[in-house]
Amino acid sequence: EVQLVQSGAEVKKPGESLKISCKGSGYSFTSYWIGWVRQMPGKGLEWMGIIYPGDSDTRYSPSFQGQVTISADKSISTAYLQWSSLKASDTAMYYCARSETGIFGDWFDPWGQGTLVTVSS
């Protein structure tokens, strides 16, 4: 079974750093892109960026470029999303999802269970 398992909920203070993870299993981790999606409380889905673990090629949404860093460690089939200095506005649920490639566009399946990040003083 293809599965993505994310790290647990985090509570942080503004200015702190954070790295959350997404571990893939049941497939060749290096052969599929992994994307990250933000969902702020009561809001919709926002695509943040995507990484190809095979060569660490990474693309960011213009809205998130410079705000977060996406990385991967293929030796342990894990992708990461990190912040160097959190803000209260980073409070959200973060999902990772495997990207499936189609001829005219890619879709996301499956999704991780989500990691809730709360930033509060």
- What is the full DSSP assignment across 60-114? E-TTTTTT-EEEEEGGGTEEEEEESS--GGG-EEEEEEEEEP-TT--EEEEE---
Of 48, 93, 46, 88, nearest in space to 70 by CA? 48
Q: Which is nearer to other proteins, 6 or 77 (CB)?
A: 6
Least separation in angstroms between residue 33's CB and other proteins is 10
* Joined tokens for residue 92: 């959200």
Least separation in angstroms between residue 67's CB and other proteins is 14
Least separation in angstroms between residue 30's CB and other proteins is 21
- The binding site for other proteins (CB under 8 A) comprises 35, 37, 44-47, 49-50, 59-62, 95, 97, 100, 102-114
Q: Which is nearer to other proteins, 71 or 113 (CB)?
A: 113
Q: Which is nearer to other proteins, 17 or 63 (CB)?
A: 63
Least separation in angstroms between residue 25's CB and other proteins is 16
Q: Which is nearer to other proteins, 16 or 100 (CB)?
A: 100
- Please list, in sequence order, all residues whose beta carbon lies within 8 angstroms of the beta carbon of residue 88, skipping any fewer than 6 positions away: 14, 119, 120, 121
